[in-house]
Amino acid sequence: MTRLHPALLESSFFMTFKKQRNELEAEAIKDVSAELQGGGRKKRATLEGYEVHDHDAKTLTSTTVPSDAATDFEEPHAIQAPYVPQRVDTKLTKAKGLALQRELLQAFQSPGFQKRLHELERDHASPKNKNVKTAAYRIEFMKLVRSRQREIIPYYGFPATEEGIEAMLVALQEHKDDPDVFVNEAAINEALGLETRRQGKAEKIKVCDVRPKTLRGTSEMLRLMLSKLSKATFQQSIDSLKQAADFRAGRCGYEDDTSLWPVEFYEDPEGYYHLHGRDKLALSVHKQVLPLYGFTADKHGVQEMLQLCAKYLSDPEFAHLFDSVNAKLGMSPSACQRFRQLIAGYEPLPTGKARS
């Protein structure tokens, strides 16, 4: 059997289609003409969106006749092209990334969102284990999260589509090792009831006596610590310690007997470099993290961990991460710098077992 050239096939197909369309138009005109003659009325009649005039019933007006490119008649057996996702390539500076994270966090922490999240957990809980997320829950959870993301990301150059959300997440990944971005990510995951990116991986490590031996391994330890210190409950406890210190030092008090809330008169000039109760509070977090990295869960383990950190404080990114941890412990920027300079003078860690 002779095969026709694709161009001929295409031409034959459209000629057949045009013939069918012309026959339909002619039939429509014939019906309208008959109606006009039978009723003896009117100068114009309309059928299926076409204007027909009695003085030239066979002519369709130019304003209503569809062109070959756009017709009211569907092409028979028309094949739709498959949907191809568009690639979105938008970059985020650190400042814009942090601003985007703050907006997302505010949306996820809003009472309305949290109420809906709790309703999903209640309605789609596993009958055997309430802590297990069902498939139905995951679907509704994703819809809920995506709805908030689509409202926010267009202000940062991303389309309100799945591709836009994916591009936003990729853009934030470029700053994944930045402590500020990491803290915001941890807060967002906490608001959504998710574990942090590194927390799940790190907590699978069994308690051992092998310590980090590289900058990367030590940074991983501090990031896990930072995520735990960033939790809202811990930060509320730090704020309470700072307020108690301000009361004792006369930096905070009530304006008069009718005041319901204390007023801060001025901040600690030393930036809370010394804060009563902080060591005990911080130890509650150190006990969760230090054993995972070969340190004892006590004050001696904290001292050895600080000695290890001292080896890498000359690295700007690590120094910033170290300061971020201490900022979550209530220190001001100047106090963080002062503490970092103190730790940098520690004696080198004795030779022992190590882990990358």
Beta bridge partners of 252: 264
Same structural domain for residues 153 and 251? no
Same structural domain for residues 277 and 323? yes
For residue 267, give its domain range.
203-356
Rounded to two decimals, what is the model's pTM? 0.51
Same structural domain for residues 107 and 21? no
pLDDT by residue for the chain (356 residues), tens only, comes to 444 444 444 444 445 445 555 565 566 566 555 555 555 444 444 444 444 444 444 443 333 444 444 444 444 445 555 544 455 567 889 899 999 999 999 999 899 999 999 898 888 877 776 666 788 888 899 999 999 999 999 999 999 999 999 899 989 988 887 888 888 888 888 888 876 444 444 444 445 567 898 999 999 999 999 988 988 889 989 999 998 888 888 877 655 556 555 566 677 889 999 999 999 999 999 998 999 889 999 999 999 999 999 999 999 999 999 999 999 999 999 999 999 999 998 655 454 444 44
Domain membership of residue 120 (yes or no) is: yes
Helix (H) or strand (E) holding 355: strand 354-355
Same structural domain for residues 108 and 137? yes
Domain membership of residue 194 (yes or no) is: no
Domain membership of residue 184 (yes or no) is: no
- For 84, residues 6+ apart whose C-beta sits below 8 A from its C-beta are none
- For 287, residues 6+ apart whose C-beta sits below 8 A from its C-beta are 297
Specify the amino acid at residue 267: E
Encoded tokens for 234: 């811990």
Domain membership of residue 6 (yes or no) is: no
Helix (H) or strand (E) holding 170: helix 162-173
- For 291, residues 6+ apart whose C-beta sits below 8 A from its C-beta are 207, 297, 301
pLDDT reported for residue 11: 46
**Cα–Cα distances in Å, from 284 out to 229, 289, 325?**
10, 9, 15
Using an 8 Å Cβ cutoff, are 44 and 51 in contact?
yes
pLDDT reported for residue 12: 45
Same structural domain for residues 309 and 220? yes
Domain membership of residue 77 (yes or no) is: no
pLDDT reported for residue 190: 83
Same structural domain for residues 210 and 352? yes
Write out the DSSP string of 246-258.
Answer: HHHHTSEE-SSTT
Domain membership of residue 218 (yes or no) is: yes
pLDDT reported for residue 46: 43
Same structural domain for residues 105 and 223? no
Domain membership of residue 4 (yes or no) is: no
Domain count, the chain: 3
Same structural domain for residues 238 and 110? no
Crossing angle of helices 111-123/135-152, nearest 10°? 160
Using an 8 Å Cβ cutoff, are 325 and 225 in contact?
yes
Same structural domain for residues 54 and 95? no
pLDDT reported for residue 314: 94
Same structural domain for residues 139 and 226? no
Same structural domain for residues 59 and 144? no
Domain membership of residue 3 (yes or no) is: no
Residues in the chain: 356
Same structural domain for residues 225 and 315? yes
